[in-house]
Amino acid sequence: MKKLMIALGAFFCALPLFAQPILTKDNIEQVLKAMTLEEKATLCVGGARAAVVNGVTSGQAVGPVQGAAGNTRPLARFGIPTTYLADGPAGLRINPTRQGTTETFYCTGFPIGTLLASSWDVDLVEKVTTAMGNEVLEYGVDVLLAPGVNLHRNPLNGRNFEYFSEDPVLSGNMAAAYIKGVQSNNVGTSIKHYAANNQETNRNEDDAIISARALRELYLKNFEIAIKKAKPWTVMSSYNKLDGKYTQQSEDLLTKVLRNDWGYEGIVMTDWGSKAATADATAAGNDLMEPGNETEIQRIVDAVKNGTLSEADLDRNVRNMLNYIVKTPAFRKYNYSNKPDLKAHAKVARDAAAEAIVLLRNEQNTLPLKGGENVALYGIGALEFVAGGTGSGNVNKAYVVNMKEGLENAGFRVDQSLINYYQAYINFQNATRQLTATNNRGFGGFGGSVLANIEVPAAAVTAEAGRNDVAVIVITRNAGEGADRKVPDDFNLSQNEQELINNVSTAFHKVGKKVIVVLNVGGVVETNSWKYLVDAIILPWSPGQEGANAVGDIIAGKVNPSGKLPMTFPMSYFDHPSSMNFPYDYVRGNQGNNRNPVKDVDYTNYEEGIWVGYRYFEKADRAVSYPFGFGLSYTTFSYSKPTVKATADGFIATVTVTNTGKVAGKEAVELYVSAPAGGMVKPEKELKAFAKTGMLQPGQSQVLTFTVSNYELASFNQDVNRWEAAPGTYTVKFGASSANIPASATYKLGKQQTWNVSDAFLNVAIKDMTF
Ligand code: BGC
């Protein structure tokens, strides 16, 4: 009798559990079966858009993590919690203050993506994002909406600062390291914006028309590398259309390429603002609409009921969502502290900036300075130093070190009267400036800005040259989400800036003193017309809250620069073939939806095909101001005779790098491959791998090893829809930059190898540029 009671008891206890299982990682199918259609739709639609109230993102829509960009919806009866999603690439973006508490919630402003890529150091990037991911975890966020990996197709894209490079191998490997670091904290990432979101102008509607070859070799390759190597928890589809379809509704992109070809197993979410065709997006493999609303839930329910969306497709997405939920800290009920170690992370940010800053010019060893010099510091941006860009990539950091502080911290004396002059102007501007509410994306409106530079009278410059040892001029750009940059006064220096460089160089050189330019910019600027006027150029990009300290350390020689360019600096903007069809002269219209009344930007033909960045400049034999992969050091390196050994599916290469100079330093080596002649037309050479030495003392050597597979050597033959590695002799080039190859060797591939892919992006009517 007793036994029967126990058995009955167990049966009745199990019954409700069976009807209404509480989610665990082992009962996903059971939970899926128990869900109603409405519940399934609810899980695939995010919480409502967070409102911005008095310049602060309202916590209402996003619960306790105020300022998080969005969330997923809870389903209490299955124990499914709300999970939180927040931006975004240079650190976590949440509100720094909250009503009802004096506690603050600042995050670390790390270097922007472009600076991280300039390090050419995957270990460094992983270290940075391990710290970043810790802030995600400790502030109660489940997914960081980063990294941004879109290619630098054109230098004017307003969001290039968030992205890494013009090259897919550098971008993809940077993204992989980024994802590994963040996700080592058991929080997620969202690699974005998938795919071809290469301009901000009319980004919601623009149709990027790209050939299958250019897509597979460039615009998808970076995602492919990162997704295969690092398995991000989530992918964010982009706003734009790609070859005629919104990416969030493209089965080719989201299912055939992403899941079938690459084996991706995480979720796909929309970028912020899904489209009306929610059911189409669901069918195509977009699992989550962000942010969401009740209408979208209803659309999914209706579509299943009227047979336009199969429940099997919805179930597939729900299964993906449940697999995502069980990994999250929210699901684990992680007891977050709201107290990450910001001090320790500031140091990580500073060290990373120092390792990645690029030295572009250093005539007659102008740098490093001896130490303790009197510095005349020019440019409003010296005081209003830009740590990062605006928009969702902004970080609400507690402070930003400016260039005056950076120089002083490195032991220099900064000319105070010049500082007073600039400060008075800034105070005046602040007092008179119309107060625009700045939300937590760091801007009053969309887009970035060029900091106006006031003139410094010629007589004053002469006096400053007399009483100082050296001049430092800061050139500043602040790019941002929502607008592309322009050619005059942004890509090109303004007249005021040119005059400043001219006047300061003339006055200082007259008395035998040097001039250093610091480019505190978010994207490429024109350098060729003025670089010969100055003695040194340092490129810290937007280096995060501690970046000015890193610049100070480089000027003082405490750090030997080892960063290299992740893109080409052309002679002129119009040298880029993509300038033929990039909306560089677009003026924002007033017809809503970013549309320009006079200029059609509904589509962008990527007519240059694969000829992006150095691939084009080398093939066209066009001179550049600074080549891809270029960066100077305070020491010199030699490369030994390399080795290349065939493996079962490719080769392993080594090269020994020796520090042949007088100070310790690090060297990034870029491995390029030139394909055998015959077959498809290919770039002169393409980056296939890269590696960086540790700190080498003078005379010290290190062996660097590179692994390349035959698949990585292949090009995409769109006529037969497959990857092909041509047979023959490949030249393996070990570059200090794309234009400087100190060592090379060969690799022989006996017979052609091919790899088939899904039928996707076939029949795109675009003719690529040919050579
Ligand atoms: C951006 C995304 C960002 C999202 C959430 C969008 O405007 O394009 O990159 O993650 O907002 O803030």
pLDDT for 460 beyond 70: yes
Q: Is 441 in the pocket of ligand 1 (CB under 6 A)?
A: no
CA–centroid distance, 622 to ligand 1, in Å, is 36
CA–centroid distance, 607 to ligand 1, in Å, is 28
> Where do the DSSP E strands lie in 501-607?
514-520, 536-539, 569-570, 603-605
Measured from the Cα of 145, ligand 1's closest atom is: 10
pLDDT for 11 beyond 50: no
The closest alpha carbon to 458, from 416, 412, 510, 414, belongs to: 510
As a whole number, mean pLDDT of residues 456-465 equals 94
As a whole number, mean pLDDT of residues 478-488 equals 91
Measured from the Cα of 197, ligand 1's closest atom is: 8
Mutation probe of ligand 1 site: the residue of 52, 72, 87, 144 with most atoms within 8 A of C-beta: 87
As a whole number, mean pLDDT of residues 212-237 equals 98
As a whole number, mean pLDDT of residues 700-706 equals 98
**From residue 279, how far is each of 108, 283, 285, 305 by CA, in Å?**
39, 6, 10, 11
Specify the residue with its C-alpha closest to ligand 1, atom 11: 272
As a whole number, mean pLDDT of residues 343-365 equals 98
The closest alpha carbon to 562, from 631, 507, 646, belongs to: 631
Looking at residue 439, its pLDDT comes to 67
The closest alpha carbon to 528, from 537, 515, 516, 540, belongs to: 537
Q: Is 252 in the pocket of ligand 1 (CB under 6 A)?
A: no
Looking at residue 64, its pLDDT comes to 86
Categorize the per-residue pLDDT at 15 as very low, low, confident or very high, splitting at 50, 70 and 90.
very low
Could you tell me if 188 and 232 are in contact, meaning their C-beta atoms sit under 8 angstroms apart? yes
* Tens of pLDDT, residues 284-330: 999 999 999 999 999 999 999 999 999 999 999 999 999 999 999 99
Measured from the Cα of 87, ligand 1's closest atom is: 10
Specify the residue with its C-alpha closest to ligand 1, atom 3: 392
- Sign of dihedral through CA atoms 745, 749, 755, 760? positive
As a whole number, mean pLDDT of residues 487-512 equals 96
As a whole number, mean pLDDT of residues 6-29 equals 67
Specify the residue with its C-alpha closest to ligand 1, atom 5: 69
Q: Is 271 in the pocket of ligand 1 (CB under 6 A)?
A: yes
Mutation probe of ligand 1 site: the residue of 94, 271, 390, 440 with most atoms within 8 A of C-beta: 271
Looking at residue 56, its pLDDT comes to 52
Could you tell me if 657 and 639 are in contact, meaning their C-beta atoms sit under 8 angstroms apart? yes
Categorize the per-residue pLDDT at 736 as very low, low, confident or very high, splitting at 50, 70 and 90.
very high
Looking at residue 138, its pLDDT comes to 98
CA–centroid distance, 273 to ligand 1, in Å, is 9
* Tens of pLDDT, residues 626-653: 999 999 999 999 999 999 999 999 999 9
pLDDT for 100 beyond 90: no
Categorize the per-residue pLDDT at 449 as very low, low, confident or very high, splitting at 50, 70 and 90.
low
Q: Is 189 in the pocket of ligand 1 (CB under 6 A)?
A: no
The closest alpha carbon to 236, from 143, 128, 309, belongs to: 143
Categorize the per-residue pLDDT at 601 as very low, low, confident or very high, splitting at 50, 70 and 90.
confident
Specify the residue with its C-alpha closest to ligand 1, atom 7: 272
CA–centroid distance, 392 to ligand 1, in Å, is 5
Q: Is 392 in the pocket of ligand 1 (CB under 6 A)?
A: yes
Task: Find the angle CA(520)-CA(524)-CA(525) to the nearest 5 degrees.
Answer: 80
Catalytic one of 207, 261, 271, 484: 271
Specify the residue with its C-alpha closest to ligand 1, atom 9: 392
CA–centroid distance, 271 to ligand 1, in Å, is 6
DSSP state of 491: I
CA–centroid distance, 146 to ligand 1, in Å, is 9
As a whole number, mean pLDDT of residues 139-163 equals 98
Q: Is 87 in the pocket of ligand 1 (CB under 6 A)?
A: yes
Specify the residue with its C-alpha closest to ligand 1, atom 4: 272
Mutation probe of ligand 1 site: the residue of 235, 481, 484, 594 with most atoms within 8 A of C-beta: 481
Mutation probe of ligand 1 site: the residue of 193, 392, 481, 484 with most atoms within 8 A of C-beta: 392
Residue 484 annotated as catalytic: no
Q: What is the mean pLDDT of the chain?
A: 93
Categorize the per-residue pLDDT at 584 as very low, low, confident or very high, splitting at 50, 70 and 90.
confident
What's this model's pTM, rounded to 2 decimal places? 0.95
- Angle, helices 311-325 vs 294-305, to 10°: value is 140
* Tens of pLDDT, residues 246-275: 999 999 999 999 999 999 999 999 999 889
Measured from the Cα of 162, ligand 1's closest atom is: 9
pLDDT for 52 beyond 70: no
Percent of the chain with pLDDT over 90: 84
Measured from the Cα of 88, ligand 1's closest atom is: 10
Q: Is 49 in the pocket of ligand 1 (CB under 6 A)?
A: no
- 407: tokens are 């120089």
Q: How far apart are CA 593 and CA 222, in angstroms?
A: 29
